[in-house]
């Protein structure tokens, strides 16, 4: 099976790594990365160049196109490749609004009676300001559009809400603003493959959005993940499927925008049940890096079935072991970050047992290095993104998975590297702030 994989990050590296384990699968990535170049051909076409990606698909005639990031989905890449008569794993421009516009998503949730935080939408910052003056705190303020996880502010008091408004005023994604009720609880990412009608839930995972230990500091695209999320036992999974996933897939189909791809529900498990924080229209990053090492079965076939309305024929199973993934970031991330640092220890760490390293922001360039006393040009791994590496470890329990993961993390370094030390600690030590919900 020839697969065209759109994207270049750690999620795409993890997907490609797993897809390649199906015999007969070949991968062509666009724009790809140096890691993806080790798994197949790469074509240097940017993810937002819909015209060029469509003509690439026209030339290559892949058996399946898998779209990794949200941007090409929101720009309509799935539609234009499908219009060529080629199977695509990824929703249409209409279905992808569930991620591309938080206002669309919230209104959809209300139309379909889905559990979520109460909210108000503002087009005018002055009206938003007045509303915030009259609000009780905490509140959550969100940009409507895509903001790489950085358009959400949780504000404990009016002054921080006003700061958030100022910050949002310079963001293109924030022409509309949502102010919503703060939900207390424990977060879970729930992924399901769907062909628009049937669903196939994947294993559960938990992300860590805040940049610093203890969930402090600004939100990022995701600093680490583990799988499974112990909070989602069988009855919770059933509740999530029955009250959230199925009605969402049905609602999109009934509204004329069937969703074929991966539906990602970002959930808060509250004392009154699971509530939707957001939807995404694609695999999560870094959850995918924690999920792929646990996945057994034929992922390529399952994605093809989802793309072609035959999801009923697909099945997947999961390794019983736990997985954790720690994201190693460049200095400055999630703000302006450094690029171009040599990554020490990566090549040696790659062969660690029970650990796989997925590259999010790495490039390889020839650099002058001393080899056996002589200076030589050697292909060298260089930081080239805010999130640089995702180190994913497996273990019989979460503690062992984390131990394997951090042992490898500690072997890799570059100037200014930072990462969270407490990935998974909420699952190991549930505190009083996160009471287990009862039903």
Q: Which residues pair with 192 in a beta bridge?
A: 201, 263
Cβ atoms of 4 and 56 closer than 8 Å: yes
Alpha-carbon distances, residue 15 vs 29, 269, 417, 432 (angstroms): 11, 27, 25, 36
285 binds, among ligand AMP, ligand GLY, none (CB under 5 to 8 A by kind): ligand GLY
Three-class DSSP labels, 167-198: HHHCCHHHCCEEEEECCCCEEEEEEEEECCCC
**Window 274-303: residues binding ligand GLY (CB under 6 A):** 280, 284-285, 287
Cβ atoms of 317 and 296 closer than 8 Å: yes
**Window 388-407: residues binding ligand AMP (CB under 6 A):** none
Token pair for residue 433?
């702030």
Q: Of the candidates 252, 319, 273, which has an alpha carbon nearest to the alpha carbon of residue 93?
A: 252
119-157 exposure pattern, b = at least 16 Cβ within 10 A, e = fewer: bebbeeeeebeeebeeeeeebbbbbbbbbebbbbbbbee
140 binds, among ligand AMP, ligand GLY, none (CB under 5 to 8 A by kind): ligand AMP
**Window 273-302: residues binding ligand AMP (CB under 6 A):** 277-278
Name which position in 222, 274, 334, 424 contacts ligand GLY (CB under 6 A): 222
CA 74 vs. chain centroid, Å, equals 15
Number of residues that this document lists for the chain: 439
CB of 253 to ligand AMP, least distance (A): 24
- In the complex with ligand AMP, the residue whose CB is nearer, 18 or 420, is 420
CB of 316 to ligand GLY, least distance (A): 20
Cβ atoms of 193 and 199 closer than 8 Å: yes
Cβ atoms of 177 and 103 closer than 8 Å: no
- In the complex with ligand GLY, the residue whose CB is nearer, 189 or 384, is 189
Is residue 154 a contact point for ligand AMP (CB under 6 A)? yes
Interface mask toward ligand GLY for 193-212; x: CB under 6 A: --------------x-----
Is residue 219 a contact point for ligand AMP (CB under 6 A)? yes
Tell me how many degrees the CA angle 34-35-40 measures, rounded to the nearest 5: 90
Tell me how many degrees the CA angle 251-303-229 measures, rounded to the nearest 5: 75
152 binds, among ligand AMP, ligand GLY, none (CB under 5 to 8 A by kind): ligand AMP
- Taking each continuous run of H as one helix and of E as one strand, the counts in the chain are 16, 24
Binding segment (CB under 6 A) for ligand AMP, from list 106-114, 148-156, 376-384, 401-409: 148-156
- In the complex with ligand AMP, the residue whose CB is nearer, 77 or 152, is 152
CB of 217 to ligand AMP, least distance (A): 12
287 binds, among ligand GLY, ligand AMP, none (CB under 5 to 8 A by kind): ligand GLY
- In the complex with ligand AMP, the residue whose CB is nearer, 277 or 328, is 277
**Window 161-180: residues binding ligand AMP (CB under 6 A):** 180
154 binds, among ligand AMP, ligand GLY, none (CB under 5 to 8 A by kind): ligand AMP
Interface mask toward ligand AMP for 194-213; x: CB under 6 A: ---------------x----
Cβ atoms of 323 and 392 closer than 8 Å: yes
- In the complex with ligand GLY, the residue whose CB is nearer, 186 or 207, is 207
- In the complex with ligand AMP, the residue whose CB is nearer, 290 or 394, is 290
Is residue 361 a contact point for ligand GLY (CB under 6 A)? no
CB of 116 to ligand AMP, least distance (A): 8
Q: What phi and psi values does residue 77 have, to the nearest 5 degrees?
A: -65, -40
Token pair for residue 153?
């502010």
- In the complex with ligand AMP, the residue whose CB is nearer, 20 or 112, is 112
324 vs 391: CA distance, rounded Å = 8
CB of 346 to ligand AMP, least distance (A): 29
Is residue 266 a contact point for ligand AMP (CB under 6 A)? yes
354 vs 352: CA distance, rounded Å = 6
Is residue 140 a contact point for ligand AMP (CB under 6 A)? yes
Cβ atoms of 334 and 361 closer than 8 Å: no
Q: Please report, as ranges, the residues that interact with ligand GLY according to CB under 6 A.
A: 149, 207, 222, 280, 284-285, 287
Q: Please report, as ranges, the residues that interact with ligand AMP according to CB under 6 A.
A: 117, 140, 142, 149, 152, 154, 180-183, 187, 209, 219, 266, 277-278
């Amino acid at each position: 099976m020839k697969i065209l994989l759109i994207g270049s990050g750690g999620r795409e590296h993890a997907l490609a790594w797993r897809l390649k384990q199906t015999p007969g699968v070949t991968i062509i990535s666009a724009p790809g990365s140096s890691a993806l170049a080790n798994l197949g051909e790469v074509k240097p076409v940017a993810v937002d160049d819909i015209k060029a990606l469509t003509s690439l698909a026209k030339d290559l005639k892949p058996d399946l196109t898998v779209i990794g990031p949200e941007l090409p989905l929101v720009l309509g890449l799935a539609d234009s490749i499908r219009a060529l008569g080629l199977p695509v794993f990824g929703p249409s421009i209409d279905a992808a609004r569930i991620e591309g516009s938080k206002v669309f998503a919230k209104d959809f949730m209300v139309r379909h009676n889905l559990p979520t935080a109460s909210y108000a939408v503002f087009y005018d910052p002055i009206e938003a300001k007045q509303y915030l003056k009259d609000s009780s705190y905490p509140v959550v303020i969100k940009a409507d559009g895509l903001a790489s996880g950085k358009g959400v502010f949780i504000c404990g008091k009016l002054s921080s809400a006003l700061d958030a408004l100022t910050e949002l005023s310079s963001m293109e994604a924030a022409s509309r603003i949502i102010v919503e009720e703060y939900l207390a609880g424990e977060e879970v990412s729930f992924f399901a493959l769907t062909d628009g009608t049937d669903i196939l839930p994947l294993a559960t995972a938990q992300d860590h959005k805040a940049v610093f230990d203890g969930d402090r500091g600004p939100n990022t695209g995701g600093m680490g993940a583990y799988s499974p999320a112990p909070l989602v036992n069988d009855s919770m999974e059933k509740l999530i499927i029955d009250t959230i996933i199925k009605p969402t897939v049905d609602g999109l189909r009934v509204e004329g925008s069937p969703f074929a791809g991966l539906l990602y529900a970002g959930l808060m498990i509250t004392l009154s049940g699971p509530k939707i924080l957001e939807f995404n229209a694609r695999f999560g990053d870094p959850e995918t890096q924690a999920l792929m090492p646990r996945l057994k079965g034929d992922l390529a076939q399952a994605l093809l079935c989802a793309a072609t309305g035959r999801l009923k024929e697909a099945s997947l199973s999961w390794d019983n072991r736990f997985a954790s993934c720690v994201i190693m970031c460049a200095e400055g991330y999630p703000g302006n970050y450094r690029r171009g640092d040599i990554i020490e220890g990566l090549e040696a760490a790659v062969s660690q047992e029970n650990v796989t390293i997925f590259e999010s922001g790495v490039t390889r360039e020839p650099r002058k290095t001393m080899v056996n006393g002589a200076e030589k040009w050697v292909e060298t791994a260089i930081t080239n993104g805010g999130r640089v590496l995702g180190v994913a470890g497996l273990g019989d329990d979460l503690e062992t998975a984390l131990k394997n993961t951090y042992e490898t993390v500690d072997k890799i370094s570059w100037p200014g590297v930072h990462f969270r030390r407490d990935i998974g600690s909420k699952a190991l030590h549930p505190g009083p702030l996160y009471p287990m919900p009862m039903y």
